[in-house]
Amino acid sequence: MGIFNNQDYILLHDESIVVDAHCDTLTAMLEQQRHLGEFSGKGHLDLPRLRTGGIKVQFFAAFIAPKFKQFALHRALELIDLYYREIEANNKDIVHIESLAGIYDALTSGKIAALLSVEGGEALECRLDVLRMLYHLGVRSLTLTWNKRNELGDGVLEGNTGGGLTSFGLAVVKELNRLGILVDVSHLSEKGFWDVLKYSKQPVMASHSNCQAICAHPRNLNDQQIKALAEEGGVMGITYVPDFLGGKAASVNEVLDHIDHAVSIGGMNCVGLGSDFDGMVQTPSGLEDCSKISVITRGLIERGYHHSAVKKILGDNFLRIIKQVLK
């Protein structure tokens, strides 16, 4: 391929539909008294920085931290309310969407497309009717567990005792498929991962997970998982959390290394981006916040990726499963 100059990668980045499959900005805004529309010296993500970074589609997670487990649904609703208040306050720049058509409508009008997810099946309180209610509130992705056990199954930090999905967890996967909500296996135990792939009738995503072969952290996926996820049409979002990249000295190069490895195992169609911005304290060098995302585009070009492959990784792969799953 030819030699690219700075203008080439900037143009490619600008014409790509960049999708970030996970951030914890709702929690950060609530706890730090930030607002989405205002540039902040705190954290990693707000509308001005999303614009600078060229991110066109952003998933916002209503994260159920362990300390809120006893009133998980209340916490989810608190964060969902904040999400809609912030979207409404900035409706000239960002819009809530629930389908691929909604994304294209947002882009046509020059707005950022926002999707709402819930991170932690505790929010369901063991009730499928709550799941249906969350669907009607606009939730279009559910991370089944966080790191520990809940009513749906075990998280990755249950260690060798970690089991798969419970009977309720299996019922949730079935209902997610029926409703048209993305099943997110990040944080889920390996046994739970295999249960999801066995029983889900739709492709699933790992919104923010990396490669164990490079960084042997339990939060990351092993090669067998990556290969199987890809074979079922799923997508993994490479995350920028230094602990999942390889250590505190991580940089954008380690992000690119994880992308390279995932592509080598699962192919070009299974890899996307899932930053986890505002869900980490330290960020990789060169990726201090969401305004810097174009360095990934530049790095992919420098490593020899074709334009079409770069676009897939930046967002087209996630757009594909959004089209397939969301109704």
What Cα–Cα distance (Å) separates residue 177 from each residue in 59, 101, 146, 170, 204?
19, 19, 20, 11, 10
Instruction: Assign a CATH topology to domain 6-325.
Output: TIM Barrel (3.20.20)
Q: Does pLDDT of 107 surpass 80?
A: yes
Residues 161-186 have pLDDT tens digits of 778 999 999 999 999 999 999 999 99
Lowest mean pLDDT across 5-9, 206-210, 287-291 = 5-9
Residues 218-236 have pLDDT tens digits of 999 999 999 999 999 999 9
Residues 259-317 have pLDDT tens digits of 999 999 999 999 999 999 999 999 999 999 999 999 999 999 999 999 999 999 999 99
Q: Does pLDDT of 3 surpass 90?
A: no
Can you give the residue ranges of every domain in the chain? 6-325
Measured between alpha carbons, how far is 141 from 17 in angstroms, rounded to an integer?
19
Residues 55-75 have pLDDT tens digits of 999 999 999 999 999 999 999
Q: What percentage of the chain has pLDDT greater than the value 90? A: 94
Q: Does pLDDT of 2 surpass 50?
A: no
Measured between alpha carbons, how far is 76 from 61 in angstroms, rounded to an integer?
9
Measured between alpha carbons, how far is 42 from 281 in angstroms, rounded to an integer?
11
Q: Render the burial of 107-136: b for 16+ CB within 10 Å, e for the rest.
A: eeeebbbbbbbbbbbbbbeeeeeebeebbe
Q: What percentage of the chain has pLDDT greater than the value 70? A: 98
